[in-house]
A and B are shown apart, each in its own frame.
Chain A
Amino acid sequence: MKLIILIILAMFTLSGCNKSAQPSDAIVKIIDKCGDGSISISDIKGRKKSDGFMNAQVIGENSSSNYQVLEYRIVWLDKDGFKIESILSKWKSIPAYADQPFYINATSPSTKAKTFRLYIKRDKEVICDKQYDGY
């Protein structure tokens, strides 16, 4: 009897100690469209500044009645379509207030940028993936 209690206790302790250092759902699911659901993109544009850098502006809308924190990432591409490596292409967070538009403004990491590709994600799901095809 004592033995059974000991084994049961050990099993309970084991289940409590099974701690993963990495979230189990860390894989990002990609959906290649914008406009479905509560987050939509209404405008995406880019321009070349006089100093050679490129500006990107994206206007989106949160049509839900909830405040949301989105994350976005802009990948900058040169004239040949090659990705420009930069710290500026890391994920950044942006607030999307309920029933309001939100704005994303970004500057290219170098003067070689010609186009950019935008990714927006909520939690771990990419909900928007859109490319601006040159200025």
Chain B
Amino acid sequence: MRQTIRWILILGATLTLFSGCATKTTNIDMNNDKGEAVMGLDYRDFQGAAQDMTESLLASGAVNKKDGGRYVLVVSRIVNDTMQHIDTDQLVKKIRVGLLRSGKVVVTTAVGVNGAEDKMAMQTRQELRDNEEFAQKTVAQKGQMIAPDLSLSGKILQRNIRVDSKTQRVEYYFQMSLTDIKTGLAFWEDERVIGKRGSNKSVAW
């Protein structure tokens, strides 16, 4: 009997030990996240960069069309020159939404670095044109698309610097340009730098 109780207690303690070690999963409050910083880029870095870039762009007056209309913007290549796998839409989408909501810019998805961004829109136009199954007055005809006025391009860079045997510094540079397609002149450019210092054991990719 004594032996049984002993084993039950040992088993109970072991089970509690393992269940207690599991980190509890919680949802992050995305509006007030004071969680630990990480050496890599996280959503807070992209949000901050997008916020600064959008404000800088709107404040510059570069998207203010003289006749009061809206500029048509195409998103060009955003180069990821970091050691991390980044979908640059994490940055660009936020800027696009900000610009669209400003009422000064409209983004085209008919043109892109790798062809049309919305391939279905282009395909639908071409496939339905002259197709007798569809009422042709509801099909987009040739010459209706609007060409872009401005092109947004950029680059994200990473530099790793060894501070001492235990510490490293990682610098991230967000660089963006807005080019007037007709003249090829950059109407707006800006850069935001994010620096992180941490253990050499942390891997920034």
Contact = CB atoms under 8 A, between A and B. Distances in A.
Interface of A: 3, 6-7, 10, 13-14, 17-23, 26, 28, 49, 51-53, 55, 85-88, 90-92, 106-112, 124
Contact of A92 (B48, B59, B97, B104): B48
Contacts of A92: 48, 51-52
Nearest to A4: B9
Contact of B34 (A17, A23, A85, A112): A23
Contact of A109 (B26, B28, B58): B58
B23 interface: yes
A13 B24 contact: no
A106 B13 contact: no
Contacts, number: 92
Contacts of A19: 23-24
Contact of B6 (A3, A10, A22): A3
Interface of B: 6, 9-10, 13-14, 16-17, 20-21, 23-26, 28-29, 31-32, 34-35, 47-48, 50-52, 54-55, 58-59, 61, 64, 94, 97-98, 101-104
Interface of B is mostly: helix
A17 B31 CA distance: 27
Given A13-B21, A28-B32, 17 more contacts: A10-B16, A14-B16, A18-B20, A21-B35, A26-B29, A26-B34, A52-B64, A85-B101, A87-B50, A87-B94, A87-B98, A90-B47, A90-B48, A91-B32, A92-B52, A106-B55, A110-B101
A49, A86, A106: most-surrounded residue (chain B CB, <10 A): A86
